[in-house]
Structure 1
Amino acid sequence: MPQESSKRLVVVSNRLPASLKQVEGEWTVQPGSGGLVTAIAPVLKNRGGLWIGWSGGHGDVDLPKLLGDFSKDAGYDLHPVQLTEEEVRGYYYGFANEIIWPLFHDFQSRCNFDPSYWRDYLDVNLKFAEVTARYSRESDYIWVHDYHLMHLAFMLRNMGIQRSCGFFLHIPFPPPDIYLKLPWRDKILRALLEFDLVGFQTLRDRRNFVECMEALVPNAKCTGRGNMVTIEHQNRKIRAGGFPISIDFNQFASLSADKDVVRMADEFKDALRHRKIILGVDRLDYTKGIPQRLEAIRQLFIRFPDLREKVTFVQIAVPSREEIPEYHSLKVEIEQLVGEINGQFTRPGWIPIHYQYRNLPRPELVSYYRAADMALITPLRDGLNLVAKEYCAANVNENGVLFLSEFAGAAAQLQNAGAILVNPYDTEGVAKAIRRAYYMDKRERHTRMSKLRESVRRNNIYWWVDSFLQAAFSSQLEDFPQDTVDFQTESTST
């Protein structure tokens, strides 16, 4: 293990990369899932660092014992933050999911600006700061992730704890005309200025942040051009820049070539009688545009009868936030649409839409990526979207076509590398793009996918971490030495 004086990377996020589940009255630890775990776990493993977050459990649970084995296998320590059911309800389901998530994704009409949520958010941020102060050292670098913990650096400084702190926002940052609707707009913006580095997915997000700062913090001065700018505020200098997150390209490419994955992909294609497969993979969320996507598939078969019985659309929806009524309503809406469209177009031996509502193990997910001729990634608004990059990495035969929403953060990187950009609200336009891709020349498909894969390979997850740490304090990932022990990540990415 590292010496006491060595530099460690301390990741702080809302959830740990492991979750607690109650099975037959007993608490068990299961690997976490989601984009953040997919991105960070390969980077942090075996470097002797820390991951601080909520475990997902309540009440009297022996967390050190439950998480000990997981920490040993992962190669980094997990330190849980204990939250009460009331705190989870107000901070997570309330402030995070009824205020910040919809507002920052341009869905202001879905916001519930309950003042009690704000108080719960501050209380929980203080709890996270206390755990961070207890287990971190002054030489550590604290890397805070996402909108749940925008006050963590502010809390640490108020406690008199000196730490180098960086913050990365995984979702979009809205422009002033949207952000200014937030009742606590000034307090959150000033709390973000307590970090040493604030990172965003795209330059557009960073520009929105600076514009909001100029409107709300007139004494702050911004200088610099290009990707990175410097903000001077209260005798401190804060840096802000765009750092599009990525994936472990080699891990996905290697798994796609695995014989078991190849076998599953072939079985999948055989089951669909080798028709062209269009694939959608999303966490179930109203920002992902699944109903609009289904309407685009309906338009495809209405406007272009020549494609009936020649293509099959497969939509995988990963369960998410099932405790929130709005998400249950969305699930019902999607299921009704699938039923309507299948009832409208199904013929003997052909069902136009195959819908799955479940988590997929990583190998099975990659087999779907490998088998799919096209990927339809059309969120209404997204910070980045790692599924688009995963599809490209897994497309080892380089014959797939990526459709990507103009409103996904990944569009800024992938539009010039071969992705076909579409407007998810224009269902007829999406249908036309699919038909064009169906008849696309094989050489063009190969050229596009080859460029996409090279872009993702070159700008992989390790490049992302290096670029952030380099901007933070002129360090790279290799400055956090890795132990010789290794392990295989098995978390499902969504």
Structure 2
Amino acid sequence: MTDTGMRRLVVVSNRLPAALKFVDGEWTVKGGAGGLVTALAPVLKNRGGLWIGWNGAFGAEEESKRLLDEFSGEAGYELKGVPLTEDEVKKYYFGFSNEIIWPLFHDLQTRCRFDPEYWRSYLEVNFKFAENVARMTSSEDFIWVHDYHLMHQAFFLKSMGVKRSTGFFLHIPFPPPDIFLKLPWRQKLILALTEFDLVGFQTTQDRYNFERCLEMLAPDAKVSGEGAVVSVELRGREFQAGTFPIAIDFNQFDGMARDREVAHEAFRIREALKHRKIILGVDRLDYTKGIPERILAIRELLRLYPDLKGKFNFIQIAVPSREDVDEYKDLRDEIELLVGRVNGEFSIPGWVPVHYHYRSLPQNELTSYYAAADIALITPLRDGMNLVAKEYCACNVNESGALILSEFAGAAAQLQEWAYLVNPYDLEGVAKAIHRAMHWDIEERRDSMKNMRDQVRSHNIFWWVDSFLQAGISKNLDDFPSVETVRFENN
């Protein structure tokens, strides 16, 4: 690609924020969901940015290009697809990424399947991505690579002699040495990360784990500096490692919660449940989210405090994920069985304790649940950040809600002063925290929620991007002006 003299922000991730689907005999494109899309879509919009990733389909490259071009016009940034085969997706994505890295980095190594074929495919796909990044970008662009699927991007770009400013952000936890060292390709992987100019993590603990692993696998590495970002010198070059807790667009969620229709729907939810206390869980269906343990904690709550029968409802929203994977089918069956058992044990005429919804909800409907809930029960077994906790706070405009949060979620590092922190494995401890939250003094509850909302407001998505760009290239988001601003200034 020819240098244009204009620096662009280029996002590279496994999936594009739009997916192709074959419906009723024709290809269509649908906007994606998830934390990464929620975080970066408003940042890239109308700034002339570029997003590179797989489009979610096999073949149909001409249709893919046409549909993505149409979607780009509406999204306000350019989308470019990287074609992948079914075998590549099977081994690189479902295999290496989700049967090795995902469970290992979430401290669930017994679920890992260390297949050498997965590693080979992972490298091949990373090289394919790097070829596309090299072709679609210029030396002026800042390449921001996201998550564990593409940790070899800087390594392969350099091996091809392609000079780019590169940053990498890991959305999931980084494990301590006793877990990371179980990875057969540990040294190759961690050295590949050192080829980025900036490596970002969700929490200080994640960054510290990375430093300890690097020092064990590359003893000549020297870490210097204090604060959120440190310098690492290794084999004649220096790169930065930093802590950048991902955030949300606070004003967007706050505004949605104040919308008249959303507020009306929140009231309707409360009326339908006869204004009982509402405890809410919202998660993608995944074994790291601790949904079975959460339902068992509700059972423990009712066993410890039988007087609560009929006085609350626990609503668990589980967003479908990886439905073709047997492990996730088994998890869904387990959850549905537990819901049935708890409801069977404690239901009374006119009341069942657990309401379980296995489906994706439109954002305005989900916001209504956030606004209606008295308590958010966010208890993953391990999580990089967990944006649901922040979304709940942003939507709690009357500042009367309470947040019960797993101490193993990255969000705990920012919200620990005001949230109820719990160990998700301690069913009795979670039950007691719910009981305390239900009887919490209203003024103390409002004060805690106000502080959490202030934290989420001040450390929003634009702050997150600015802090990463400042550390990576000494730039801010304002240095990537909107397309309209550039056109106006040039006229």
- TM-score tier, shorter chain, comes to over 0.9
1:87 CA displacement = 0.1
1:247 CA displacement = 0.0
Q: Which residue of 2 aligns with 1:148?
A: 149
In structure 1, the gaps of 5 or more residues are 486-494
Whichever residue aligns with residue 60 of structure 1, its letter is A
1:21 CA displacement = 1.3
Q: Which residue of 2 aligns with 1:445?
A: 445
Q: Which residue of 2 aligns with 1:468?
A: 468
SS in structure 2 of the partner of residue 254 of structure 1? helix
Q: Which residue of 2 aligns with 1:257?
A: 258
Whichever residue aligns with residue 449 of structure 1, its letter is M
Q: Which residue of 1 aligns with 2:325?
A: 324
1:429 aligns with 2:425: no
Whichever residue aligns with residue 327 of structure 1, its letter is Y
1:244 aligns with 2:245: yes
Higher alpha-carbon deviation: 94-103 or 61-70: 61-70
1:25 CA displacement = 2.3
Q: Which residue of 2 aligns with 1:218?
A: 219
Q: Which residue of 2 aligns with 1:489?
A: none
Whichever residue aligns with residue 473 of structure 1, its letter is I
Q: Aligned partners of 2:246 and 2:138: how far apart in 1?
A: 27
- Runs of 4+ in structure 1 over 6 Å off: none
SS in structure 2 of the partner of residue 288 of structure 1? coil
CA offsets, 1:118-143, max 9 Å, x none? 01000100111011111101000000
What is the correspondence of 1:18-417 to structure 2 with a 5 Å cutoff?
18-61=18-61, 62-416=63-417
CA offsets, 1:103-161, max 9 Å, x none? 00000000000000001000100111011111101000000000000000101001110
Q: Aligned partners of 1:251 and 1:78: how far apart in 2?
A: 23
Whichever residue aligns with residue 481 of structure 2, its letter is P
Q: Aligned partners of 1:27 and 1:179: how far apart in 2?
A: 41
Q: Aligned partners of 1:386 and 1:347: how far apart in 2?
A: 35
1:226 CA displacement = 2.4
SS in structure 2 of the partner of residue 137 of structure 1? coil
Q: Aligned partners of 1:237 and 1:28: how far apart in 2?
A: 45
Q: Which residue of 1 aligns with 2:5?
A: 5
Higher alpha-carbon deviation: 250-259 or 263-272: 263-272
> Whose RCO is larger (CA < 8 A, sep 6+)?
1
Whichever residue aligns with residue 74 of structure 2, its letter is D
SS in structure 1 of the partner of residue 59 of structure 2? coil
Q: For the aligned residues, what is the CA RMSD?
A: 0.9
In structure 2, the gaps of 5 or more residues are 486-491
CA offsets, 1:185-206, max 9 Å, x none? 0000010000000000000000
Q: Aligned partners of 2:166 and 2:18: how far apart in 1?
A: 23
SS in structure 1 of the partner of residue 344 of structure 2? helix
1:66 CA displacement = 1.0
Q: Aligned partners of 2:484 and 2:351: how far apart in 1?
A: 52
Q: Aligned partners of 1:466 and 1:225: how far apart in 2?
A: 19
Q: Aligned partners of 1:281 and 1:437: how far apart in 2?
A: 18
Whichever residue aligns with residue 334 of structure 2, its letter is E
1:324 CA displacement = 1.1
- The percentage of aligned residue pairs carrying the same residue is 64
1:286 CA displacement = 0.4
1:173 CA displacement = 0.2
1:483 CA displacement = 2.7
- Give the count of matched residue pairs: 482
Give the TM-score taking structure 2 as reference length: 0.97
Higher alpha-carbon deviation: 372-381 or 430-439: 430-439
Q: Aligned partners of 1:161 and 1:317: how far apart in 2?
A: 43
CA offsets, 1:42-79, max 9 Å, x none? 11111001000000000234211011111011111100
SS in structure 2 of the partner of residue 359 of structure 1? coil
1:482 CA displacement = 1.1
Q: Aligned partners of 2:23 and 2:121: how far apart in 1?
A: 29
Whichever residue aligns with residue 369 of structure 2, its letter is Y
1:85 CA displacement = 0.1
Whichever residue aligns with residue 146 of structure 2, its letter is H
Q: Which residue of 1 aligns with 2:482?
A: 482
1:480 CA displacement = 0.3
Whichever residue aligns with residue 438 of structure 2, its letter is Y
Q: Aligned partners of 1:461 and 1:144: how far apart in 2?
A: 17
Q: Aligned partners of 2:336 and 2:314: how far apart in 1?
A: 14
SS in structure 2 of the partner of residue 160 of structure 1? coil
SS in structure 2 of the partner of residue 287 of structure 1? coil
1:221 CA displacement = 1.5
CA offsets, 1:403-445, max 9 Å, x none? 00000000000002x1110110111111111111111111011
Q: Which residue of 1 aligns with 2:457?
A: 457
1:27 CA displacement = 1.2
Q: Aligned partners of 2:484 and 2:432: how far apart in 1?
A: 52
SS in structure 1 of the partner of residue 315 of structure 2? strand
SS in structure 2 of the partner of residue 218 of structure 1? coil
Whichever residue aligns with residue 177 of structure 2, its letter is P
1:234 CA displacement = 2.3
Q: Aligned partners of 1:293 and 1:287: how far apart in 2?
A: 12
SS in structure 2 of the partner of residue 281 of structure 1? strand
SS in structure 2 of the partner of residue 403 of structure 1? strand
CA offsets, 1:166-223, max 9 Å, x none? 0000000000000000000000001000000000000000000000000001122111
1:356 CA displacement = 0.3
Q: Aligned partners of 1:404 and 1:334: how far apart in 2?
A: 20
Q: Aligned partners of 2:19 and 2:262: how far apart in 1?
A: 26
Q: Aligned partners of 1:59 and 1:31: how far apart in 2?
A: 19
SS in structure 1 of the partner of residue 430 of structure 2? helix
1:26 CA displacement = 1.3
**Do 2:20 and 2:64's aligned partners in 1 also have CA atoms closer than 8 Å?**
no
1:4 CA displacement = 2.2
1:395 CA displacement = 0.3
Whichever residue aligns with residue 133 of structure 2, its letter is T
SS in structure 2 of the partner of residue 106 of structure 1? coil
